[in-house]
Amino acid sequence: MDFTFNGIKSIFFDNRTTRQTIFKNTFWSAVSVVMDRLLKFILLIYVARILGATEYGKFTFALSFISLFAFFHSFSLPAIITREFAREEENKEEFYSIISLKILLSFISFLLILLGSFFITSYPDIRIIISILAISSLLNGFTTVFYAFFQARQRMEYETWAEIFQAIIVTGLGLLVLFKFPSVINLSYSYLLAGLAGFIFVIIFFNSKLFPLKIHWDKKVWWKFLVMSWPLVLTGLFGTLYSYIDSVMLGYRGMIIETGLYNAAYRIIFVALMPMSLISGSFYPALSGFFKKSKEKLQKAWEHQMELMILLSLPLVVGGIVLAPKIILSIYSAEYAGSILTLQILIIMAALTFLCRPFSDVIIVSNQQKKAFWVTFWGAVINIILNLILIPKYSLNGAAVATVITYIVILVMYFLQTMKFTPINPISLKFIFSFIISAVCCMPMYFVIAQPKIYNLNVFLSVTIGTIIYFAAFFALKFLLKRFKAVEEKL
């Protein structure tokens, strides 16, 4: 191991070996996800506290509605770009045409969002918020095309710097607005300015670090990527539906306060999903490369990814359910006490999301986008039906239950599709063993954090102590199992 300055620099900035590249990508993905989500989470905490549940509900309703159109202006191009450019040599002309395609899709999406806003709400101020946030969302969506190219070249440090820059801008502007000019519309303008700043930064950065950009209108390239991406587009459409339709349906029914409470819980889930995002983001380029080069390496890498997801999902459920009241009341206020049960339900969904992600990744890597489409299609259908039944009766908690049931169905379908249509064998004793180890390690964690002396500490201390206990138990158990195995082999 080279511990000189150049050696350490090489570890974090060069692609030398598969293991080192995955480590480097994991590190930069972790920095990006943690900084981006934590900064934005801090901002939304202050939005909820300062503006109250009603105004927060308006803002999150607008964000959820706009997110329903993300599938269209994205058209799943980032995933296809990462996959295709990770396998082939750089093709600047094709990338130039992808930029022009993205411009066209963004313009059409903006018109659809504006038109849809007149049907989804009768509140004029929410329509204004939607129009402002729509432009911000389209600018952010445009930058994902460049991020996808960074990922294809396994240069995730570039994406990290850009995302951190934008997160700092949006958080700084947002907090300034909240403390000096508090209103939801002004907050929306801060998002727009941050989106514009991030867009300009990425354009300049791409030009200086990779190659000069230009726009090329080649319909053949458009058609090539649209044909490859349309199954993922439909997958994204229905995936977006079961992710955001609950908030939109709550808002559409005039449950603005309930929308605020529901999204207060959901924002905590976004933070809890950070480990999943960084692990998946690091493994995806490697999985894509292994699919073409070595099915054996693909299987091993996928198994490693799944084991990590299992070992993180169970303590998330146990700790989340126990500490949910403390988390909600500490982060927000007593006004959001109605979010406690919702968070306890949604934390189960978060664990299911951890388990779904490796299946989703390998299905896409295996060029089985059409199979993924059917999974998300039925997931969306089930979720909409359940929301129509449960929201009128149980409000935001009904929406949460509908989401959990949906993800259970999705996990089962992903498992069957992976087993049938990919080179991966998803049945392994390793996974059962990982579940058992994780469950055993959750027991001392639960016992400790449930004690009044620990539970009544600052919520971040309680979470930290629970995390330390879990991983201490995990490594101790792994050590004992290795010793037992060594003794057994000697006998």
Distance of alpha carbon 101 from alpha carbon 75, whole angstroms: 10
Which pLDDT score, from 0 to 100, does residue 468 have? 93
- Distance (Å, whole) CA 1 – CA 19: 14
Question: Residue 313 pLDDT more than 70?
Answer: yes
**Buried-state track 238-254, b at ≥16 Cβ within 10 A, e below 16:** bbbbbbbbbbbbbbbee
Question: Looking at residue 153, what DSSP letter applies?
Answer: T
Over range 174-203, report the average pLDDT.
Answer: 88
Stretch 214-240: mean pLDDT: 72
Averaged pLDDT score across all residues of the chain: 83
Lowest-pLDDT range, 243-247, 289-293, 354-358?
Answer: 289-293
User: What pLDDT is stored for residue 14 in this prediction?
Assistant: 58
**d(C-alpha 380, C-alpha 198), whole Å:** 32
pLDDT of 273: 87
DSSP 423: S
Q: What is the pLDDT of residue 95?
A: 74
Answer whether 241's CB lies under 8 Å from 64's CB.
no
Cα–Cα distance, 233 to 73 (Å, whole number): 10
User: What is the dihedral sign for C-alpha 437, 443, 448, 450?
Assistant: positive
Question: Which pair of tokens denotes residue 278?
Answer: 């960084």
Q: HSE of 24 in the Cβ direction (CA atoms, 13 Å)? A: 24
Please name the helix (run of DSSP H) or strand (run of DSSP E) that holds residue 265, with its range, or none: helix 256-272
SS3 270: helix
Per-residue pLDDT at 351 exceeds 80: yes
Whole-model pTM? 0.79
Structure tokens at 452: 């009044």
Among 121-125, 225-229, 370-374, 457-461, the least confident range: 225-229
Identify whether the C-beta of residue 285 lies closer than 8 Å to the C-beta of residue 152: yes
**Average pLDDT of 403-420?**
92
Closest by Cα among 217, 216, 417, 431 to 309: 431
Q: At what angle do helices 18-67 and 124-152 cross, to 10 degrees?
A: 160
Statement: residue 383 has pLDDT above 80: yes
Q: Tell whether the model's pLDDT for residue 120 goes beyond 70.
A: yes
> Which of 247, 295, 289, 291 is CA-nearest to residue 269?
247
Least reliable range by pLDDT among 102-106, 261-265, 287-291, 438-442: 287-291
**Of 368-382, 404-418, 472-486, the least confident:** 472-486
> Between these two residues, 85 and 279, which has the higher pLDDT value?
279
* pLDDT at residue 170 in the model: 86
Question: Which pLDDT score, from 0 to 100, does residue 425 have?
Answer: 86
Rounded to whole angstroms, the maximal C-alpha distance in the chain is 78
65-79 in b/e form (b: 16+ CB < 10 A) is bbbbbbbbbbbbbbb
The encoded tokens of residue 488 equal 């057994």
Q: Looking at residue 1, what is its pLDDT? A: 47
Section 154-172 average pLDDT: 78
Mean pLDDT of 75-87: 66
User: Residue 4: its pLDDT value, please?
Assistant: 60
Q: What mean pLDDT is predicted for residues 208-226?
A: 73
More confident residue, 379 or 237: 379
Q: Are 322 and 448 a contacting pair, CB within 8 Å?
A: no
Exposed / middle / buried, residue 230 (Cβ in 10 Å: 0-12, 13-18, 19+): middle
The CA–CA distances, whole Å, from 443 to 309, 335, 461, 477 equal 19, 32, 19, 13
Q: Tokens representing 81? A: 């770009």
- Integer angstrom CA distances of residue 130 from 62, 100, 147, 189, 441: 5, 25, 25, 11, 45
DSSP-assigned states of every residue in 274-338: HHHHHHHHHHHHHHHHHHHH-HHHHHHHHHHHHHHHHHHHHHHHHHHHHHHHHHHHHHS-GGGGG
- 24-65 pLDDT, tens per residue? 666 766 777 777 778 888 888 888 888 888 888 898 899 888
Confidence of residue 345 (pLDDT cuts 50, 70, 90): very high
